Copies of this chain bind each other. A is one copy, B any other.
Amino acid sequence: MKNLLLFSILYLLSSIFNGALSQKQDSLMISRIFADALTHNDSYRNLEYLCTKIGGRLAGTPESMKAVKWAEKTLKSMGLDTVFLQECTVRYWERGEKETGRVISSVTGNKDLHPDALGGSVPTPKEGLSAKVVEVANYNELKRLGKEKIAGKIVFINHPADPSLYNTFAAYGGVAGYRVRGAVQAAYYGAVAFIVRSATTAHDEYPHTGIMHYADTVNKIPAVALSTNESDRLHNWLEQDPDLSVSIKVSSIEHPSVVSYNVIGEIRGAEHPEGIIAFGGHLDCWDNGQGAHDDGAGVVQTMDILRLYRSLGIKPKHTLRAVVFMDEEMEQRGGKAYAEEAKKMLDKNNISVTHRPSPIAYRHIAAIEADRGGFSPWGFSIDATDEQVKKVQSWKNLLLPYGIYILEKGGSGVDIKDLKPLGVPLFGLITDWQRYFDYHHSANDSFDKVNIRELQLGTGAMGALVYLIDQYGL
């Protein structure tokens, strides 16, 4: 009994000691990960190239193909174990000639408008179209006006994003639906075109585009966004002259679908090469900006995790995989193709599926997406079991010194969400969200808006999480 007690005490002490030791080692390694991220400018230089030399790169466009080649070349230059392309078929919508708009009014005087077509919009007739404008704040007002008041007119939904919300994603979520589905609602009541206020709390001159959808049951009408300032001005002009007319011209082209690619780079795992920890961002971005925060940042950060592992000489137990996704903005074809391949790989009979140059790796043990801009990282939303969430939360003290204070259950990212049915624990990098929608989907999303340290810290945050998952599993 006495010996057993002594043994128990010694065992307990040794566990505590070992725990403290591994905690200390982890703490040291995580400090090295952040220091390495903060002292290497590769991700910033990569982002500069992607933004300023390639620029806008909507899926299907020649620019997106250039970006694929750039991503492949960049990953190949990093001395990884594997770099490969993964095919996906993507929609190819082209903006065409820059949109124009004009207010015609003898009361206010004629005024130029500066719209951006929404992504997926049909074109106007070549000469443009012109009609009176009905401004509403929401669908209820649209319904109240009905076909009688709306038919033949342009519907302008001018619903400001709510600035009182701390979480700008909530503010965006409150209005993005007007952009996505407003044209269908307007067309239902017979509108000939659709104008939407940009989905941002910022007050400036940048129109913010983004995907919109049509329905087969109603006419497909041209759809554009105005900047928030221009929306306010149009509102004022309409108050002065409700009978003013607006002419807009959209020259978009819907090309046939084309083949594009996800780009994948790997470091093979030393102990469990069959297990994959994937992390990624999306390479495509809207064509009206440089896609610096959305999502060039996520692309270069996730590439940079692999550089960081090489730089620190860490040999991961599991296979680390940076995934540069194609086509997040239009139809998430890259994410879907990736999940399909991931599912196929799980079937041992499919060991020789195409596009899998790492025949050993076949199961995902975690996937992380970075798609909220290159701002100071705040943590991760976790789409996993309660037990897995708790395990991640047990690492909080290791991450808190670097501002990673959010480790909560929540959605991850649209490129990895289709891995969910495979039971893969998913993570979304959460960053300071105050500035994100100032830039999102607009010409304002340019390289000069990215702070190098904030960008690097995103690499550090994900690198640290990858390290802990690799060490301790989930």
Contact = CB atoms under 8 A, between A and B. Distances in A.
Contacts of A378: 403
A34 interface: yes
A328 to B, nearest CB: 25
A310 interface: no
Interface centre among A34, A36, A403 (most CB of B within 10 A): A403
Nearest to A454: B434
Nearest to A455: B434
A430 B401 CA distance: 14
Given A38-B163, A166-B401, A435 B457 contact: no
A218 interface: no
Contact of A38 (B164, B438, B454, B457): B164
A255 B117 CA distance: 60
Given A376-B376, A376-B434, A163 B451 contact: no
Given A405-B405, A438-B451, A454-B434, A163 B376 contact: no
A432 interface: yes
Contacts of A403: 166, 378, 432
Nearest to A400: B405
A254 B297 CA distance: 48
A203 to B, nearest CB: 8
A39 interface: yes
A415 to B, nearest CB: 26
A370 B171 CA distance: 27
A276 to B, nearest CB: 29
Contacts of A38: 163-166
A453 interface: yes
A201 B163 contact: no
Interface range, A side: 20 to 34
Contact of A166 (B36, B165, B168, B402): B402
Interface in A356-386: 376, 378
A68 B166 CA distance: 33
A35 interface: yes
A34 B434 CA distance: 13
Interface in A151-167: 163-166
A201 B401 CA distance: 20
A432 B435 contact: no
A72 to B, nearest CB: 29
A351 B136 CA distance: 61
A45 to B, nearest CB: 12
A288 B284 CA distance: 41
B432 A376 contact: yes
Contacts of A163: 38-39, 453
A435 B451 CA distance: 7
Nearest to A456: B163
Nearest to A36: B164
Nearest to A401: B166
A166 B403 CA distance: 9
Contacts of A164: 34-36, 38-39
A372 to B, nearest CB: 14
Interface in A392-416: 401-403, 405
A454 B166 CA distance: 10
A442 to B, nearest CB: 15
Interface string A160-204: 000111101000000000000000000000000000000001000
Given A34-B164, A34-B166, A166-B457, 12 more contacts: A38-B163, A39-B163, A166-B401, A168-B453, A376-B376, A376-B432, A376-B434, A378-B403, A405-B405, A432-B432, A434-B453, A438-B451
